[in-house]
Amino acid sequence: MKLFFWFVFIIPVCFSAQTKATISIENNSDTDRKEAVVAISWKTILDRYPKIDTSNFVVINTKTRKQVIFQLEHGTSSAIQNLLVQIDVKAKSKLNLSIQEGKPEIFTVKTYARYVPERKDDFAWENDQIAFRTYGKAIEGSNEDAFGFDVWVKRTSRMIINERYQLADYHTDHGDGLDYYQVGHTLGAGNMAPYVKDTVRYSANYHRWKLLDNGPLRSTFQLIYDEWNSGGIKVTAVKTITLDAGSQLSRVENVFNFDEDKPMPLPVVVGISKRPAAGNILLNEQQGIMAYWEPTFGKNGTTAVGSILTTPTNMWADKVQLLAKTTVNNNEPIIYYTGAAWDKAGKFTDAKKWFEYLENFSLEIKNPLIISVK
C-alpha cells in the first residue's frame, strides 16, 4: 500500500489599493517648503482617474506610506476646482503622492471662518497660527466702528473663534491669546482702500458676505461693500479673502468698480496701523514688503503685522499708519497678502525673524512649486 502525502504551502498575499493617479510636487528653490498648502487642478486628476469617488479616496505619501491631509476646493463654483494637500518639500527635491481608493482619515480642522451676527455682524477667520476679524454694518456709526482688519493673537493650534465669542471676554488672555490689537481710524492689519487726492478714502463696513470654502486646509470667503464716494469717484468693492493652514498671511483679492467716464487706474493703498511708541518698521518697495514689529504692550506681548504687494508700489509712514500705494484697473482683480504674528506664540520672537518670514514668503510667491499629475 502506497501512502501519498500532500503538502499545502500557504503563501501570504498582501492586498493593497491600486494607485489611480500619481502627483509629483517639485521644489526647485533653495529653501525648504514646510506645511505648504498646494492646489492640484481637479480636472487634471479626473483626466487620469475619471471614475474617482469623492467620498472614497485617499492621498498617500509614497515614501512614508501615510495618508496626507486633503480638501476639495470649490471656490466660486459648485463644481470641484482643486484638490488641496498640505505637504513638506525640501529644497531642490521632489515629493510623490498617490491617489488610491480608500477611506480617508478624519483630519484635524486647521482653518475656519464664519459670519458672527451675535457680535454686530463681525466676520472672523482663523487658522492654526493666527486669527482675524473685520466689522459689519451693525457697528457703523457707533464708538466701536473701525475700518481695518483686526488681529486676534493666539498661541494654540485649536480653532478658538467660537470659544472667544461665547466667552465674550476676548480682551483678556485666558491662556490661548486675546484681542488687544488697535485698529481705530486706520486700515488695521492690511486692509486696502482707494487713495484719491492724497487721502485714504475709507469705505463703510461690508454689507454682504459669502462663504466659499471652509477647511480643513483652506477657508475662503467674500465681503461685498456698497458704493461709497472716494474723493469724487463712486466705488464698489468685492474682497475675496483666503487663509491657508500653517500661514501667517491671508491672500486678499480685491475687485474695485468705479464710476469714471474714461477707464483709468485707481490709486489704492494697503495700510498697517502704527502705534505712538516706537516699533521696528520695514518698507521694502523692491520686494513689495511692508512690515511692522509693534512696541511691546506689557504682559500682552508684541504683535507683528506685515503685507506683501504683488504690484509696483511706493511706501511711507504717516502719523497713524504705514501705507503702500499701488494702482488697480476698473473691474480687474488685484492680489496681495497680509497678516500677523504674536511673539508669545513662540514662532517669531523678534523683528528679524518676522521680517525674514515675509521675505521668504515673497520668494515663495514668485517661485511656486511645480506640480504634475500622471
- What lies within 8 Å, CB to CB, of 202 at 6+ separation is 147, 185, 187, 193, 228
Looking up cell 510667491 gives: 365
The partner residues of 86 in beta bridges, in order of sequence, read 37
What sign has the CA pseudo-torsion 255, 260, 266, 272? negative
223-236: b (≥16 Cβ within 10 Å) or e? bebeebebeebebb
pLDDT, position 141: 84
Written as nine digits, the cell of 237 is: 468693492
Q: What is the CATH architecture of 111-366?
A: Distorted Sandwich (2.70)
Amino acid at 133: R
pLDDT, position 262: 64
**Is 369 in a helix, a strand, or coil?**
coil
Tens-of-pLDDT digits for all 374 residues of the chain? 333 333 333 333 333 468 899 999 999 999 999 999 999 999 999 999 999 999 999 999 999 999 999 999 999 999 999 999 999 999 999 999 999 999 999 999 999 999 999 999 999 999 999 999 999 999 988 888 888 999 999 999 999 999 999 999 999 999 999 999 999 999 999 999 999 999 999 999 999 999 999 999 999 999 999 999 999 999 999 999 999 999 999 999 999 999 766 668 999 999 999 999 999 999 999 999 999 999 999 999 999 999 999 999 999 999 999 999 999 999 999 999 999 999 999 999 999 999 999 999 999 999 999 999 99
Tell me which CATH homologous superfamily contains domain 19-106. Answer: Golgi alpha-mannosidase II (2.60.40.1180)
336-357: b (≥16 Cβ within 10 Å) or e? bbbbbbbbbbebbeebeebbeb
Alpha carbons 188 and 305: distance in angstroms, whole number: 9
Alpha carbons 371 and 21: distance in angstroms, whole number: 13
Looking up cell 506610506 gives: 65
- Ranges of each domain in the chain: 19-106, 111-366
pLDDT, position 142: 86
Alpha carbons 296 and 300: distance in angstroms, whole number: 8
Alpha carbons 91 and 29: distance in angstroms, whole number: 6
pLDDT, position 3: 35
